[in-house]
Structure 1
Amino acid sequence: MDVRMVWRQWLIRHDRVRDALPAVAVTLVAAAATAIGKAGWHEPHWADAVWTALSCLPLVVRSRWPMGVTLLTLAVDLTLIAFAPHIALAPAASLVALYTLATRGSRRTAWIAGIAAAVAITGVYGAAHPEPVLGANSLLRFDFAIAATALGLAVRSRRDHLAQARARAEHAERTREEEARRRVTEERVRIARDLHDVVAHHITLVNAQAGVAHHLMRTNPDQAYEALAHIKDNSRAALEELRATVGLLRQPDDAPGSRAPIPRLADLDTLVAGIRAGGLPVRVTRIGTPAPLAPATELTAYRIIQEALTNTHKHASATQAAVVLDYGPHVLRVTVTDDGRPGAPKGAGSGHGLIGMRERATAIGGTVTAGPRPEGGFQVVAELPLSLAPATV
């Protein structure tokens, strides 16, 4: 198999040699045919072999000019059939040229040339030999011309089919690679959002509680000690969430048992307690009947509330904040507001927080709007589906 592949590649690189091989074969067969007689083998008729070789000479460039080579070889073969009817292999060069034209030119041109050549060869052969035009030998040459054209078209169809199959395989491979790159990018963005949420939230609380402890260290050591305890709890929680997030990157698979528990709305009270311990009063209100939520919806709602309260604590200079969970028939509406002073730089910095909230909501089919309120302060509103539509293939 390897030898065949090497030979085929060598012929593709040396097209002149490939085109000349049929001419050499026809010439050798013609020389051998003239050496066979009734009495056995004898010296070949070299003149007939030379004429056959001359008729095959244009085949050396048959791949470059298939139509010109077909016309030239057909003219030489018809001349030999008419004036040297004893040369048995006269149409052979034309048959090779018709085959090449069928593999290189258009189908319509190949059939027109094949039928015209078959009629011409049959007519000239019938006129040059003492037998009817529709005799067996004449019709045999007609069939040869049609068969050469049909064989060339069949080979071309097979090549086209293989080329299309190869193109489809390459396209499928590129598509798989693009899909893999897309999934890697999405996973990278998701991990970046999780790390941002974890770090920004806990470090903000630690910073605020450290400020409280520093302020109260001399005047009220008990409250300062309490603030330091909150710092310890928040730093430990931050480390645990970071360890869980980074641990996902090291898992060889996505087995459910290998994942750390994800935050839920049931953990909202713990989140709010940490914010309150940092010095920002937060009121939580639930409207409607709480309904079972998809895990992705619960995680998204939790992360949006976490990010909104973290931004309020960092940038709004607010004295209080409010979280409203409104359970509708199909949508959970999450509203986070604060009473920060007008013109306070809410959402300052790189802006990754608001971008992350919108990306999280969009990923599950929800929306997020954020902006200042007319009466002052800032508001974040997220509308998230209670249940997610099944993915379609």
Structure 2
Amino acid sequence: MGVIRVPISPETGRPVLRRWPFAAAAVALLVHDALLLSVSSGFGVLAVPAAAMIAAPVLWAWYRPLPAWAAMVVAHVALLGLGLALDSPLVPEPWLFDQMLSQAPVMYVLALSSPRRVTVPAFALTLAAVLPVTTLLNLEPDRLARGLLSWALALLVATLLGHTRRMRLLHTLRVAEELGRRRILEERSRIARELHDVVAHHMSVIAVQAASAPYRIEGGVSEAAAREFGEINVAARESLRDMRHLLGALRGAGTHPGTTPQPGLGELGGLVESVRRAGVPVKLKIGTQEPSPVVSLTAYRIVQEALSNVVRHAPGARTTVTISGGDGELTVEVVNEPPAAPAATPGSGLGLIGMRERVAALGGRLTAAATGEGGFAVRAVLPEGDE
């Protein structure tokens, strides 16, 4: 079993519980119990250590719920035994209000952070550890029974509330995971549709050249060579047919193929100009020749998505787009400075998913991370060769 921690919210990426309420509750319990144990219970110099034993599990529960629960159980058993040994006028019984305030948060966080195979035994062990000591209290049976019942119900309510919230959180995580997978599949389909237009053009050229080659070669070709050209033509046409069937399945019913030419590095100037009109100062540097159509399309889409993220999340930030080539690779870099004011629009992460899928389709590499100056940098390396 791994270390049990407070779960993370899928919406914010942060723990579902804040730390400061636990710190505030621990301080309040420490002060209150130190005064109560020293004045009313006669603990003397042991009042502060005893109060710390009660308050510490509340603070610790945010960091490590399971060890905090164990410390809570040990602390309350020890305090009961210490109160009986000192013949205290006010023994720290577990059903006292301040005692339940220290136990309920720990049980709630444990149930929120742990599966039932941990929570149920923990609840049972809490009762089993404290019950034997409570039988030593000099109380009337009715009062003892009411105290134990109220204490058990309080712990049960805290445990059930934590478990209920855990179930809701797990459901949200499953929905978010399913949505993420669906987004990835949709993005892959969109990438496949775009790449189809580029690849289909080359396959069409191959088919036409193979069919016309015997008539264009001066002096004609041998029968074997003509038959070879014919087989190339047939293979190219069959590939085109299979690609159209695959594309139809990807598009689904009721959609129609697009007829607009796919963009490339040649259209980056217009893209940058439109972003400048949106209020983002962009500098474009292209230091390479036009690559293959597929690589050019991928580079364009990466720059397009990166600039869209700048407009949404870093409005007005100075941005530099650099396209360079060498050693059979095309490098695309989009780096923006920190924005003047943070944007209120939260990110969905779909843009980065799309960029990663595009780069992975070509066997390239992508990094996207914040810079040391507070900006953001996207860097993609795309292979230009056959491999």
Measured against the shorter chain, the TM-score band is 0.3 to 0.5
Q: Comparing both chains, which one has the higher relative contact order based on Cα–Cα distances under 8 Å and sequence gaps of 6 or more?
A: 2
- After TM superposition, the score normalised by the length of structure 1 is 0.45
